[in-house]
Each structure stands twice: as C-alpha cells, then as structure tokens.
Structure 1
Amino acid sequence: MATTRVSLARQQLSDTGLTAAYSPATTDGHAVENNGKVILHVKNDSDTDVNVTIRSGYAVNGLKLADRIVTVAAHTAVFIGPLDTSIYNQTDGLAGQVAIDYSAVDGVTIAALLMP
C-alpha cells in the first residue's frame, strides 16, 4: 500500500520578518510545492541523529540521480536549500513538489520557507 505524504505549506520570507510555524515530521513523509526558492529548516530536538532524505526526481535515460541525505545531529537544526526544481521536483503524482522523508520522527520538526 502506498503511503500518503503530508502536504507542507510554504511560508513567505520577507524583510518585515517571519515567525515560522513548524510541523512535526511524519512517518509518511512530507511533500512541498517547489519553485526553486524553497528552503527547509529542520530542527532535531531528539537525543539521536536523524537523516532527512530529499528525494531526487531527476532521471535521464532510465538513470535516476541519487537522493540527497542530510544528517541533522541531535539537538541541532539545519537549513536545506534552495531546492533546484530540475533535481528535486518529482515527476510522478507529486509533480512540481519535493518529497521529504525522515529516518526517525520523534522530536523532529520542519518548516518550508519561501524566498522572495
């Protein structure tokens, strides 16, 4: 049975400031609309490192580019992006979106930030 990814809303950055809202990581993963100006902010408040996988949507002649795996150490946060549309946007049922997976979800939150 295929999993259903949870849609992650983009939040517009601006020179007036943004108090980002964070969503908990989910075992089914997230999907976020991507125009090439999306940056992910992942916070890991757990006691163990977590791998965040940004699925590659890029394929040529049946060869797929490897997924990007970013390790977020325990009790740290990282920014990932901006996410290139030609590499990370999916071409299947998630066309125009980036697919995000997590090796663990406890204590992990994420925000999708959209650059102007």
Structure 2
Amino acid sequence: MARTDLTTVAEASMSGVDLTAGFTPAIADGHAVADNGRMLLVAKNTDASAKNLLFDIPILIEGQTVTDRSVTIPATTGLMMIGPFKPIYRQANGKFHIDYSAVTGVSVKLISLPAG
C-alpha cells in the first residue's frame, strides 16, 4: 500500500481553529501521520452512507495481533474529532496509519494540540 503523508493544517489555540476549511480528501491507499502524541484528526462524511476510519494497532499481545480501532463517521453530515493517539498506534517509523472503508464523501483534517 502506498500511503500518502497527511500534514498538520493547524495548531489548536485560544484563537480557535476553522473547522470548515483545510480538509484533504480520503484516498484508497490511506494516509500516514507523523505522530507527536498531540494529534487530533477531524473527519467528515458528506456521502449518503456511513464510513469507517480504521487505525492500525501494530503491536502483539502474547503473540496475538490486536484488532485495529474502527471509528464510524455518520452519513451525510457526519463530523468526528478523533485523538490524541496513544503510542500503541505508532508504526516503527513513528507514524500512525489511517485506512478508509470507502473514500466517497470522506475528507480529513489534522490538528496538533500545543506542546505543554
């Protein structure tokens, strides 16, 4: 799978973050996010059917794989904020992966919480 890096659009602040702009369309190969432990993902769905975002958990517990995390984005006007992401979602390269059950009508926006 050839993932595309998703970059931070804004940092949360007391001035606020515009949640209506700056979205990136979902892609079939999924996205990768460089994780600093303070990332929030805003996902919206304008399609007539609900969609799932899947977050890979690359760890083993007693030799067994862990079920990936799935978050459902409701149909038509679905808007969800997800995160921050715990270290269990990080791949060996420090990024977490986002996969989509389908991409029609789905777009995402990455916001970083301020340090400290």
- Aligned residue in 2 for 1:73: 74
Residue 40 of structure 1 and its aligned partner are, at CA, apart by: 0.7
Residue 82 of structure 1 and its aligned partner are, at CA, apart by: 0.9
Residue 17 of structure 1 and its aligned partner are, at CA, apart by: 2.4
SS at match of 1:35: coil
Identity among equivalent positions (%) equals 35
Residue 61 of structure 1 and its aligned partner are, at CA, apart by: 4.6
SS at match of 2:107: strand
What runs of 5+ residues in structure 2 fail to find an aligned partner?
none
Residue 14 of structure 1 aligns with an amino acid whose one-letter code is S
Residue 17 of structure 2 aligns with an amino acid whose one-letter code is L
Task: Tell me the matched-pair count.
Answer: 110
- Aligned residue in 1 for 2:106: 108
Query: Using the alignment, how far apart are the partners of 1:51 and 1:40 within structure 2?
Result: 14
Structure 1 segments, 4+ long, off by >6 Å, are none
Residue 7 of structure 2 aligns with an amino acid whose one-letter code is A
Query: Using the alignment, how far apart are the partners of 2:59 and 2:111 within structure 1?
Result: 22
Cα deviation digits, residues 41-62 of structure 1 (max 9, x gap): 1000000010100111222453
- What is the correspondence of 1:1-116 to structure 2 with a 5 Å cutoff? 3-10=1-8, 11-19=10-18, 21-75=22-76, 76-85=78-87, 87-91=88-92, 95-116=93-114
TM-score of the pair, normalised by structure 1: 0.87
Identify which range, 26-35 or 8-17, moves more after superposition.
8-17
Residue 12 of structure 1 and its aligned partner are, at CA, apart by: 1.5
Cα deviation digits, residues 17-50 of structure 1 (max 9, x gap): 2235110000000000112111111000000010
Cα RMSD of the aligned pairs, angstroms, is: 1.3
